[in-house]
Homo-oligomer: A and B are copies of this chain.
Amino acid sequence: MNLKNKVLETIRQNNLIQPKEKVIVAFSGGPDSVCLLHLLHELKAELDIKLYAFHLNHQIRGLDAHRDAWYCLSLCDEYDIPFFVDSTDVPGYAQNMKMSLEEAARDVRYKKLFYLKSILNADKIAVAHNMDDQVETVLMRMMRGTGLYGLKGMEQLLSNGIIRPLLSVQKKEIIEELEQNGIHWQVDTTNQEDNYTRNKIRLSMILLMEECYPTAKENIFRMSASIREDSQYIEQNAMSFFEENHTLINSNTVKLELDDFFDMDLAIQKRSVRYSINVVLHSLKGIETVHLDSVIQLAKRYGDAQINLPKNLTVYKKQSALYFSTEELKEDILSFFYELEQNETIDISEISTEIETKVLLKDKNFMLSTGAYKKAFDFDKVSGRLFVRSREAGDRIKPMGLEGTKKIKNIFIDAKVPLAERNRIPIICDEAGNILWVVGHCISEEFKIDETTKKVILITVKQEND
């Protein structure tokens, strides 16, 4: 198959361009973008599209740059493609923005392209990345440190309208196509000087790889394609878990519920943490595996705790949630923990509730009236002190009359208690961590009164709006 048909098939199979669309080609004058312009020009009628070209003079290479712009203009003239050119002082911009020349050029180029796209009301921006670029990108990301997300490489179609029709074409195919058609191109001299690392990968590392395995480039390219499928699968599952389990408390604070967190695989847990951080910081720069690990450790802690991450981010564990925030966490996030002393009444102001305890001796004629908010337990079965607290991730109870334990989370789910209400339900537990009572919902088999019971503790819960 010739290159034109190969690219046509790529465009159709991946729905890169629809009929009647306006497509702007990012046109540097180097071999890749010349080939892209040439092929899209040849396919114009078949695809039924309108073509434009945009060239940016980066003001990095003096006269060479003017020569490039001139060449781009003349080719567009020949093809009768509307040509837009702009010139920006990229070195100055780089200095101002404290960016590398490479980063600055990229930044300016895309800004201008999207500006032109809005003016022309265009649909797509075609960029000329090829298979060699893809493999270099994957290798660079790998050496710099990445996971699945980085290994999948660049996409053929982005939601912002960027398309890469040459992504599965090798550099040597591009050169062949141009030579066969007698089309000239400009040598981008920055290419050889500017980006030290990428050129080292291109000129040494990949050649070395191909000495070991002649098809190494295609193999790595195919790997990144298969990883794209895997990544999509995991990201989708992780995102839907995240969507259901997070709340934006304010613009600087995200709450991640832990009720279902530990039922999920580590792959999902870590992604939920990453998404939470990204919502607060708008970026994941500087966040490393070790940080994700420490958040997972924090989530597993019993009781409240917090850790500091880079970029002024603090992660708080409070009851059964994590809070990611760049500000002091407001205390109105509900959490309470009190000791219940014998024969006393305590006030839990957080939930406007009073709890009264009475210790009674059980004799033959012992009779008690109990109800949903008044329960009696065998006091001799209690280990140490008694506490009343808000729920914690992982809380379990042995429900009266049932075999085994049940997650408190599931008791709430079965009773259709909304997430927002769950922290307001008092949990009565002893010093060993055993739960006696999920107030209003469930009492424990372990503390029930039987023939052997000698001492009884009667607990009464009164809500102020009762």
The range of chain A's interface size is 35 or more
A220 touches B142 (CB 8 A): yes
User: Does A267 contact B232, Cβ atoms closer than 8 Å?
Assistant: yes
A148 at interface (Cβ–Cβ under 8 A)? yes
Docked-complex contact A230 and B143, CB < 8 angstroms? no
Instruction: Tell me which residues from 169 to 228 in chain A have a Cβ below 8 Å from any Cβ of chain B.
Output: 197, 200-201, 204-205, 208-209, 211-213, 215-216, 219-220, 222-223, 225-227
> Could you tell me the distance between the alpha carbons of A216 and B201 in the complex, rounded to whole angstroms?
13
Q: Is A74 an interface residue (CB 8 A)?
A: no
How far, in Å, is A212 (CB) from chain B's closest CB? 5
* Partner of A151 from B151, B236, B268 at Cβ < 8 Å: B151
| Contact in complex: A212, B201 (CB < 8 Å) | yes
Interfacial chain B residues near A222, Cβ < 8 Å: 145, 289
Contact A212 B200 (CB under 8 A): yes
Give CA–CA (A152, B236) in the complex, Å: 21
Q: Contact: A208 with B211, CB < 8 Å?
A: no
User: Within the oligomer, what is the number of copies of this chain?
Assistant: 2
Question: How many angstroms between the C-alpha atoms of A226 and B209 in the bound complex?
Answer: 24
The answer, among B144, B147, B208, B236, for a CB contact under 8 Å with A265, is B236
Chain B neighbourhood of A140, CB < 8 A: 212
Does chain B have a CB within 8 A of A266? yes
Instruction: State whether A200 touches B211 (Cβ < 8 A).
Output: yes
The answer to whether A145 and B289 touch across the interface, beta carbons within 8 angstroms, is no
Closest to A290 in B: B222
Contact A145:B200 (CB < 8 A) given known A205-B209, A229-B266: no
Find the B residue at minimum CB distance from A226: B147
A407 located at the interface, meaning its Cβ lies under 8 Å from any Cβ of chain B in the complex:
no
Chain B residue nearest in CB terms to A150: B223
CB distance from A292 to the nearest CB of B (A): 9
Q: Check A229–B267 contact: CB distance below 8 A.
A: yes
Q: Which residue of B lies closest to A271 (CB)?
A: B230
A151 vs B282: C-alpha distance in the bound complex, in angstroms? 29
Tell me if A455 is interfacial: C-beta within 8 Å of chain B.
no
Cα distance A443–B151 when bound, in Å?
50
User: A234 an interface residue at 8 Å Cβ cutoff?
Assistant: yes
A268 lies within 8 A of B143 (CB): no
Asked whether B229 lies within 8 Å of A270 as measured between CB atoms, the reply is yes
Residues of B with C-beta under 8 A to A233:
234, 265-268
Residue A146, interface by CB 8 Å: yes
Docked pose: A236 CA to B267 CA in angstroms: 12
- Shortest distance in angstroms between A156's beta carbon and chain B's nearest beta carbon? 15
What residues of chain B lie closer than 8 Å to A266, measured between beta carbons?
229, 232-233
The distance in angstroms between the C-alpha atoms of A466 and B204, with both chains bound, is 77
Q: Name the one of B205, B220, B226, B230 contacting A208, with C-beta atoms under 8 angstroms.
A: B205
Interchain CA distance A112-B268 in the complex, whole Å: 41
Residues of B within 8 Å of A267, CB to CB, are 229-230, 232-234
**Which residues of chain B are within 8 angstroms of A234 by Cβ–Cβ distance?**
230, 233-234, 267
CA distance A146 to B205 in the complex (A): 19
**A211: B residues at CB distance < 8 A:** 200
- With known contacts A142-B223, A145-B219, A145-B223, A212–B229 Cβ distance under 8 A: no
A230 with B197: CB separation less than 8 A? no
Q: Give the contacts of A255-277 with B (CB-CB under 8 A).
A: 265-268, 270
**Once the chains are docked, how many angstroms separate the CA of A289 from the CA of B229?**
12
Q: CB distance B147 to A223 under 8 Å?
A: yes
Complex CA distance for A222 and B227, rounded to whole angstroms: 17
Can you list 29 contacts pairing A with B, beta carbon distance less than 8 Å?
Answer: A140-B212, A142-B219, A142-B223, A143-B212, A143-B213, A143-B216, A143-B219, A144-B219, A146-B223, A147-B227, A148-B227, A151-B151, A200-B208, A200-B211, A204-B208, A205-B205, A205-B208, A205-B209, A208-B208, A222-B289, A226-B270, A229-B266, A229-B270, A230-B230, A230-B267, A232-B265, A232-B267, A234-B234, A234-B267
* Closest CB pairs A-B (n = 10): A145-B219, A233-B267, A143-B216, A233-B265, A143-B213, A147-B226, A229-B266, A229-B267, A197-B212, A230-B267
